[in-house]
A and B are shown apart, each in its own frame.
Chain A
Amino acid sequence: MNVRYGFVIDLDRCTGCGACMVACAAENNVPPAAPRATPRTGLTPMLVRKVSNGMEGAARREAFFPIACMHCGNETPCVAVCPQQAVEVDKATGIVVQMPQRCLGCRYCMTACPYHARYFNWWDPAWPAGMEKSLNPGVAVRMRGVVEKCNMCPARLHSAKEKAAAAGKKEIDPADYIPACAKACPTGAITFGNLADKNDSVFTAAHSSSAFRLLARLGTEPKVYYKSQEPWVRALAERDSDHATEAQHG
């Protein structure tokens, strides 16, 4: 079966609680921020960004955009630029995979990514005493000086594949592979699935009239869709609003 994993994020349901960010960090062994880290030097493969319609008082409206790697499906900007093939598109799943163990840390991919969804390890990873016991044994810790990003929780995919293999199946059960952010979202705003499967709920959601993608005009075919019934959110995403302001969580 053709598989193209992707997310559909319902912005009208997102409360900006940040559970997805925490779940992502716990699942993928993202270290706590270094003491000198800033919002621009931290590691947040999933980052919730707050936007507003720029109005004040009763007219003010706010929304939250969870931003992760968009896993671009066409002319993937980061894949083409990496000088040593540390980024590749998995043909079987469509996941854009970053391989930190091959990364030189040149950061050209970060320059190429229009979504700013790639993060450099500016510091050595360090956990408070005792907290290292909570590390996920299925995920390698990244060293200082390499780039990382959302790989759609590869440990969970491997686990699902192992389970399928043990049961003698060729394909995984979709219920066995749900990335940490989607699993943790308390409002169900983040949904995950196979965008190439017409029977999958994300396929339907991605093709609904309220669905859109950020910077779709660049032609990179991102596999993260957003949904909103709010006209100002859609206008903002289409760059029609000059009044948007932005803040960051974490």
Chain B
Amino acid sequence: MADLLLIDRRLIARGVTRSSTLRFMFWLVPWVALVALGVYAAALCLYYGLNQTHMDNRFAFGMWIYLDLGMIAMGAGAFFTGFLVYILKQEDLKPILNSAVVVGLICYSGAVAVLMVDVGQPLRAWFTFWHPNTHSMLTEVTFCITCYLFVLILEYLPVLLRNRQMRKVPSFLVFEYQLHKMVPVLAGLGAFLSFFHQGSLGGLYGVLRGRPFAFRQGFAIWPSTFFLFILSALAVGPSFLMLVTATAETLAGRRLALPSVFRKLGFISGVLLGIYVAAKAIDTLIWLNVTSRAVGFSPWDFYSYKPFGSALLFLEIVPLGLLPAILLTLPMTNKKRGWVLCGAALACSGVLLNRFILTVQTLALPTLPFDDFLQYIPSWQEVATFTGVIAYGVILYSLSYRYLPLFGQAKGVDKNVSVG
């Protein structure tokens, strides 16, 4: 125990105040337990097969795909903040860049880990790289997410190497310096890759001609959902980053980012969300009046199946789309932290609802004339794996916050936490 305390103290940067080792360990215990349960559930799925889930031939995608789409949208703050700082030179956002990278790494690595459990033959994952079908949106997703995960690891390494003990190794210092020089390039590469895989995730369902509820017309080879997913991810990434920062501030009991950072992220998020909501509304109108009818379906029939009524569509576009866009953009509300965070939470909920509708509602709806509306309730193994990934994220973020310079030095921010 004494050794553990000593190791913990030695890993924390000098002059930085952190909670006691014991308190930190107590904080980690429930999350570690959830990860352990998640690993056990995932192991069951890998050993016995996907019969451990409640997915079936009709509901072939389930909770895990929803988790993937949701997490990757939330993780968009990583590439977008990098893009804003290094490409658009928004230097005032630099203090939260490391935090954004960690959030991105958590979201993407968690999503990839779940995908590896979700496929029937994980050992054949390399087949996609060896026999790629260039027409498949999933190929685009696989390539871009894998590449971007490597980019995120490369972006995370300089943060990791700035740990107090890591800095004692001279070669690590040189490596970190070299990596640091690459960061702007990585930011650009990350933005490029993310642009495509966020879009491809939208395209994943938009190209499904056999699912008229999800099928969309588009531009060239990309359905409209391709562009909507990019826009919504860009909009919600900064919002999620604000929520994570605010949660960390509450738990740490101190300010970690300047109010101006919140205002700026809120404004960017709000403007993009406004554009997204407008595009989404237009897309929905086109789908209602043209796309769906062109293949002989009455679009409102899709909303006749409860609990997925048209109220869900309204909820997604107005209270969880337009409203947060206004809250985040209007100067009156943008200046107030409470309203900004409220707007950010609504925006994140709206995009998560959008991913739910696209993944779950699409599969629940009948396609054949004599099909029924389907129900799907995930098994405990699916839920445990899901929560395990969330818990893994909490642990990685907690460890990174404790031992690494997540929030850069900025005037007006508690100097005790500024180790960057």
Residues of A within 8 A of B (CB): 34, 36, 38, 40-42, 49, 51, 65, 67, 75, 77, 80-86, 102-108, 110-116, 118-124, 143-147, 214-215, 217-220, 236-239, 241, 244-246
Contacts and interface: CB of A to CB of B under 8 A. Distances in A.
A65 to B, nearest CB: 7
Interface residues of B, number: 45
Given A123-B49, A144-B120, A217-B296, A102 B370 contact: no
Nearest to A244: B370
Contacts of A38: 56
B1 to A, nearest CB: 44
A97 B156 CA distance: 44
B21 interface: no
Contacts of A82: 133, 136, 138
B295 interface: yes
Contacts of B61: 107-108, 111
Given A81-B207, A215-B367, A239-B296, A146 B121 contact: yes
A121 to B, nearest CB: 7
16 contacts: A75-B209, A81-B136, A81-B207, A83-B128, A83-B132, A103-B121, A105-B120, A105-B124, A107-B120, A108-B136, A111-B208, A112-B211, A114-B368, A122-B56, A236-B370, A239-B296
A114 B367 contact: yes
Nearest to B359: A111
Tell me what chain B mostly uses at the interface: helix, strand, loop, or mixed. Answer: loop
B210 interface: yes
Nearest to B210: A114
A84 B133 contact: yes
Contacts of B56: 38, 40-41, 122
Interface of B: 49-51, 55-61, 118-121, 124-125, 127-128, 130-133, 135-139, 142, 204, 207-212, 295-297, 363, 367-372
Residue of B119, B136, B208, B369 most packed against chain A (CB within 10 A): B369
B45 to A, nearest CB: 10
Given A75-B209, A145-B49, 20 more contacts: A65-B370, A77-B209, A81-B136, A83-B138, A83-B139, A102-B124, A102-B127, A103-B124, A106-B119, A110-B60, A115-B368, A121-B120, A123-B49, A123-B51, A143-B121, A145-B50, A217-B295, A218-B210, A220-B210, A246-B370
A26 to B, nearest CB: 21
A120 B53 CA distance: 13
A116 B59 CA distance: 10
Contacts of B131: 84-86, 102
